[in-house]
Amino acid sequence: MNFYETLYIVHPAPESGRLKDIILSLEEILKKSGGKTLSINLWGKKRLAYLIDKQKYGTYVQLQFTGEGNCVSNFEIELEHNPNVLSYLTTLIEESDVVEQKNDLDVQIAGQSRETKNDADGAKDKKSVENDKIPLTDTDISESEEHHIEEPTETDVKRASESGDNDPEDKSEVEEMNTAEKNTDSIEENQENADETSAVSEEE
């Protein structure tokens, strides 16, 4: 007698009750084909490595059984034509590779549905945490904090010109400001001199 293992992937859409019906119907087909079920282990819903029938996820089921003759080929034909099975793989194993089924099918399905729910809740929590980390908009920042920009005073300009730590660009800006101030002073002086000259000429 040979030992076999079939790993098949069930369409992700069926609910837990429907999933149990699919697994039991496949087990019944195996019995009719002359095989004897040793263990059924539900691996749960997992992401597929590539799309199968446009599906990203599938529920993995490991079925170990014994059989002789055309048992395996007949069972694979049924799997091939079952619309609920996305893919399958049957391999010949040793008796020592047989895994003992610890829990019955109902317990396994209930556990998987609980894990799926927890994963979904965890994903929601993670998403909410990420949303909390979104930076504030400019409007929110301006409302929460007022930023005052102070104009530089003459003292600041003189200090900047005296210190040698400034960039060349800063120095040229300071020099331009000083030159502009000197020009303004000289224009004012010329204006005053002109006023005085005109006043003297009027007196004469």
> So what's the pLDDT on residue 184?
63
Q: How far apart are CA 129 and CA 185, in angstroms?
A: 63
What's this model's pTM, rounded to 2 decimal places? 0.54
Chain segment 141-186, per-residue pLDDT in tens? 445 444 445 555 666 655 655 555 545 555 555 566 666 666 666 6
| Complete domains list, the chain, with CATH | 2-121 (3.30.70.60), 154-203 (no CATH)
Per DSSP, the three-state class of 184 is helix
Which amino acid belongs to residue 12?
P
| Tokens linked to 110 | 């209930």
Q: In sequence order, which residues have a C-beta less than 8 Å from that of residue 33 and are 6 or more positions away?
A: 67, 70, 71, 74, 75, 78
* Percent of the chain whose predicted confidence (pLDDT) is above 70: 54
DSSP 139-154: HHHHHH-----PPPPH
Q: What is the pLDDT of residue 195?
A: 63
Reading the block at residue 156, the tokens are 């600041």
Q: Check residue 9 and give its pLDDT.
A: 94
Q: Would the pLDDT of 25 be above 90?
A: yes
For 41-93, the pLDDT digits (tens) are 999 899 999 999 999 999 999 999 998 878 999 999 999 999 999 999 999 99
**Average pLDDT score, the chain:** 75
pLDDT at 81: 93
Q: Which residue has the higher pLDDT, 129 or 98?
A: 98
Higher pLDDT, 105 or 20: 20
On whether the CB atoms of residues 35 and 126 are closer than 8 A, the answer is: no
